[in-house]
């Protein structure tokens, strides 16, 4: 039991209750609806997004793909109401609508026919978006599989098979998406080629260590930080390059849009949820409970059982030697 003095009232709370309270605080900070509501503000004839001002002259449209995209769309509909003309979001389960926004079903973790059908509907919707309009794009984890339109000459099944092979051989998310971008007509910044609107605001829920915008959902509205040499090296590393058809090799050796391309002049990419934000909220909560709080890292990677041993050693060090901090201490990592 832990005794906490708060506003002159003594409260006894078990360690398990403290832990659950901290976890719930972290999860609340990661809720995509809450994040969008807190970071997107309608101010008369303009929208403020994380300190950036976006003028609203035409209609507002909502696009999205990923496991959190419908929840983000709910927040945008709540914020903008009748200003939203419509939109399309793609999730693993699909649904009916979020206000005027269609919610369609895609396939996850490997793209399939549902993904292709929903993705083509999203591009079809974009044909009705005007140059004076504003498009909000809700992007989250799972978007790589849920939103996909292959480049000309590529079959969806080929992308699915190659993705499955790479995952099965141990490719990490950066390696996997570096390859997928080059076979896709909508990843690696290429979605922007289909959007005529003068302003695009991408709201991004990060599921990638380091919050690499070009990797989350394969970066459909972000400059690609990987190059063709890297993609080729990935395929060679996992023994897949030599077995690829020549037409796929040619596509992989074509560069994707990079930083500085005028294509990105109209887009604002805004991370609204990430690992560090949740850790910070949990740390604040535990500090109020009287704990010395340390965020050890927000970039923890590795096999779970090995990572667990490392974290246990840090806890032992704190308990026995007071390093990296003396008890009562809360050590957080994500």
Q: Are strands 40-43 and 9-13 parallel, antiparallel or unpaired?
A: unpaired
Give start and end residues of each alpha helix (H) in 31-170. 32-39, 69-80, 113-126, 143-146, 156-168
What pLDDT score was predicted for residue 260?
96
Alpha carbon distance, N-terminus to C-terminus of the chain: 26
**Same domain flag for 186 and 103:** yes
**Same domain flag for 220 and 76:** yes
pLDDT of residue 239 exceeding 50? yes
pLDDT of residue 9 exceeding 90? no
281: domain CATH number?
Answer: 3.40.1480.10
**Same domain flag for 290 and 265:** no
pLDDT of residue 72 exceeding 70? yes
**Same domain flag for 80 and 145:** yes
Entry pTM: 0.88
**Average pLDDT rounded to a whole number, residues 214-223:** 95
**Same domain flag for 253 and 293:** no
**Same domain flag for 85 and 179:** yes
pLDDT digits (tens, 9 = 90+) for 256-281: 999 999 999 999 999 999 999 999 99
pLDDT digits (tens, 9 = 90+) for 78-121: 999 999 999 999 999 998 899 999 999 999 988 999 999 999 99
Domain span at residue 314 reads 2-27+277-333
pLDDT digits (tens, 9 = 90+) for 159-193: 999 999 999 999 998 999 999 999 999 999 999 99
269: domain CATH number?
Answer: 3.40.50.10180
The full DSSP string for 213-241 is TTTGGG-TTS---S-HHHHHHHHHHTT-T
Closest CA to 204 of 58, 22, 49: 49
């Amino acid at each position: 039991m832990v005794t906490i003095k708060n506003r002159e009232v003594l409260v006894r709370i078990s360690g398990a209750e403290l832990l659950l309270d901290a976890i719930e605080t972290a999860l609340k900070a990661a809720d995509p609806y809450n994040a969008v509501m807190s970071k997107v503000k309608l101010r008369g004839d303009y929208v403020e997004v994380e300190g950036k001002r976006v003028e609203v002259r035409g209609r507002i449209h909502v696009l999205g793909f990923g496991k959190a995209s419908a929840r983000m769309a709910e927040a945008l509909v709540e914020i903008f109401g009748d200003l939203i003309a419509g939109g399309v979001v793609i999730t693993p389960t699909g649904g009916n609508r979020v206000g005027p926004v269609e919610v369609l079903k895609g396939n996850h973790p490997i793209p399939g026919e549902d993904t292709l059908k929903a993705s083509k509907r999203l591009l079809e919707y974009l044909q009705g978006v005007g140059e004076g309009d504003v498009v909000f794009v809700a992007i989250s984890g799972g978007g790589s599989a849920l939103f996909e339109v292959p480049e000309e000459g590529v079959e969806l099944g080929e992308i699915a098979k190659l993705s499955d092979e790479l995952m099965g051989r141990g490719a990490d998310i950066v390696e996997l998406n570096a390859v997928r971008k080059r076979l896709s007509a909508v990843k690696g910044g290429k979605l922007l080629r289909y959007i005529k609107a003068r302003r695009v605001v991408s709201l991004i829920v990060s599921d990638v260590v380091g919050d690499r915008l070009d990797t989350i959902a394969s970066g459909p509205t972000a400059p690609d930080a990987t190059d063709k040499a890297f993609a080729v090296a990935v395929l060679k590393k996992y023994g897949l390059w030599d077995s690829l058809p020549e037409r796929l090799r040619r596509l992989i050796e074509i560069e994707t849009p990079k930083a500085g391309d005028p294509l990105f002049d109209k887009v604002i990419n805004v991370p609204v949820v990430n690992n560090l934000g949740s850790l910070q909220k949990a740390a604040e909560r535990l500090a109020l409970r009287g704990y010395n709080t340390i965020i050890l890292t927000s970039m923890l990677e590795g096999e779970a059982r090995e990572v667990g041993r490392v974290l246990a050693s840090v806890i032992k060090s704190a308990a026995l030697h007071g390093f990296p901090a003396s008890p009562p201490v809360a050590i957080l990592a994500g």
